Amino acid sequence: MGVCRVTVRGDWVIVGQTGRDRKGLKGLWSAIVVAGLLLALCCVAWVVLQAALPRPLFEPLEYATELYSREGELLGVRLAADGYWRLQLDLSGVDPQLVHFLTLIEDRRFQTHPGVDLLALLRATGQLLWRGAIHSGGSTLTMQLVRLSDPSPRTLLYKLQQLGAALKLEQRWDKRQILRRYLELAPYGGNLEGVRAATRFYWQQEPQRLTLAQIALLLAIPQAPEARRPDRHPDNALAARDSILQQLLAQGVVSVADYQRAREQPLPLRYRAANSLPYLWSAIPTESRRQITTIEASIQRKLETISSREQQRLDRYSTLAAMVVNNRTREIVAWVGHGDYGDSDRHGYLDLTAAIRSPGSTLKPLFYALAMQQGGLHPQTIVLDQPFASGDYRPKNFTERFYGEVSLSEALRLSLNVPAVKVLHYVGSEPFIEQLKRAGVALQLSQSPPSLAIALGGVGVTLRQLLQLYSALADDGVVRPLQLLSTDGLTAVEPISEPLFTPLASAFVTESLAEAARPIGFSQQPYRLALKTGTSYGFHDAWAVGYNRDYTMAVWVGRADGGFSSPRVGLNDAAPLVWQLFQQLPQVGLPRYRLTEQQQRWLALSAAELPLGLRYFPNDRAQAEGGGMQWQQPPVSRLWRQRWQGEAVRLQFSGGELPVSWFLDQRPVALKQLQRDWLWQPLQSGAYRVQVVDRLGRSLELRVELVEP
């Protein structure tokens, strides 16, 4: 028991402690402080040990879907389900120098600490106590990964929980797993996450081989992602990159020369998320994160360049679409769904390869081929190109003139309309549509049953459907579905049905189209290309489809909304794109067909060598040989010269079947009764051409020359 000391001063009594008492009290306070510290440490330890690992850390990451060409070139990226541009990463695909410098800058003892670097924490604490600010943080890469997986408010309690989570994470994952996940989640501003997304966005390359300047920028941005985005804050990004370079130089891991060269490198100027083929996504399964397509990057670039150049020549509201397929495999090797993707005036988000449009004359080769394989015809068979009527339907040629007797091959080459209508009538409109449907190509009909107007574009078709059908002409008549997802690039996909065309019919069509008119500027090209153009009614749509042995290409030019801006003609507006691309591809010639020697000899027959039954198209034979139709008034056969003084002229013929149609200079004559005679009142003297066509399409022609006395 201590002893008290009592002192009396005046009216006051002072009671004090001895030195031994004071010493004991001081010890008591020290014990209390130590106990408090121990309790605090226990609390900290409890918090750390109770810390749970963030659940998202062990859940599968949502990755963006990557679309590649056959050669492995990235074509496009579809954002992950959470809206981030995050790409799956393999450490073997990351520049080792980036990984090395990352640990030097962010976590020097990454390979040895258990998730928490105590020396770094003590250093950071000391800086805070003595300098009032932390100049070198104490967070390890493991701790940063925990924070990236659970971005809660950065309180002291959260910091303690982060320490515990980092320790636990190191017990479950090895260092390579931690590095990989960190490099996948490192923030680069906006919705960019991960090193691969950053290198793809800023430099359009993989992170496998990087320059020192690129590495420094990749290390600098995650420290302050939004403030250091090169696309928005280039000055901040440049200063931060150069600061990283300075740190690397100070640590002696880069030479002065490399440091200087890196500082001289500019920031990336082009920022682009790969998405050159946005319309492909509708054909890509959503469950796959990496898809290899059939697109051949070299041909795709050529087509994009040609399309972009041609798009600039079009008016404000017009655009184009184009596609190229491999004839052997039916793989789509190039695809431009819209010439100006994203443009609102041109409805730039539509894939116009799937748009239904009038095909103009592009269906003609198809029913010519079907007519040929039905028998009774030969490429040199004569068909009459003259005024023709089927009910109220009176087709005219694009040039508004008639050519008389032409071979089927020439009629197809010139794309004459009257012979085409006759050929379709020979095949039958309904059988033609049904045969295409059985081959997997269902056309959009404007009326049912289909009429002969489909010969000249009176039906709806898509660019992809035309490709499917024309590539069959290049493959012995076999129709196969188009492919987008890659197989082996060698194997042809199974046919949809039995061959639509015979090899003989396909060979006839190909040889005819190879002699068709070429667009201006390509008439002297030495190589051969089978080409068919088409122009829809009203000049709204321009088409061209061309093929050689290896590839088939289709082009459409017009307005996405189907409206009219300026006249479009297939030969002028679409065909040049086909020729421009094919002249950049290997010149392999026309397709080769499996023909017997007898078929080859038959195909090579001249008109004079044809049997009598093959010389004329059915029904035209009778017309050519008289057909029982002959002129009665005037009593001549082809030419009539007559002195004329203004009187009416009676024209009359015999034979034929009523009703009949009269034509004067290729223009129909409006008569109340379509009979075998016509009282014609010429307006002046001169030369005239009179034609009459009966119900069966047989015709009679007369040239009249009226001479004033």
Return the active site residues.
Answer: 106, 361
Residues contacting residue 679 through CB under 8 Å, at least 6 positions apart: 648, 649, 650, 651
User: Is there a contact between 133 and 285 (Cβ–Cβ < 8 Å)?
Assistant: no
The helix (run of H) or strand (run of E) holding residue 22 is helix 19-50
Place of tokens 């103009």: 360
Closest-CA residue to 487 (of 314, 372, 331, 382): 331
Give me the long-range contacts of 605-614 (CB less than 8 A, separation at least 24).
605/378, 605/380, 606/380, 607/380, 607/382, 607/407, 610/378, 610/380, 610/381, 613/376, 614/376, 614/377, 614/378, 614/380, 614/381
User: Three-class SS of residue 624?
Assistant: helix
Q: What are phi and psi of 226, to 5 degrees?
A: -75, -35
Provide the β-strand partners of residue 12: 9
Residues 6+ apart with CB under 8 A from 226: 189, 190, 232
Q: How far apart are CA 508 and CA 377, in angstroms?
A: 11
Residue 422, classified by CB atoms within 10 Å of its CB into exposed (0-12), middle (13-18) or buried (19+), is buried
Which tokens hold the place of 609?
A: 């060598």
> Which residues does residue 642 pair with via DSSP β-bridges, in sequence order?
706
CB neighbourhood size of 170 (10 A): 17
140 in Cβ contact with 105 (< 8 Å) = no
Rounded CA Rg of the chain: 42
Give the other-Cβ count within 10 Å of 663's Cβ.
21
Residue 699 host element (H or E): strand 699-707
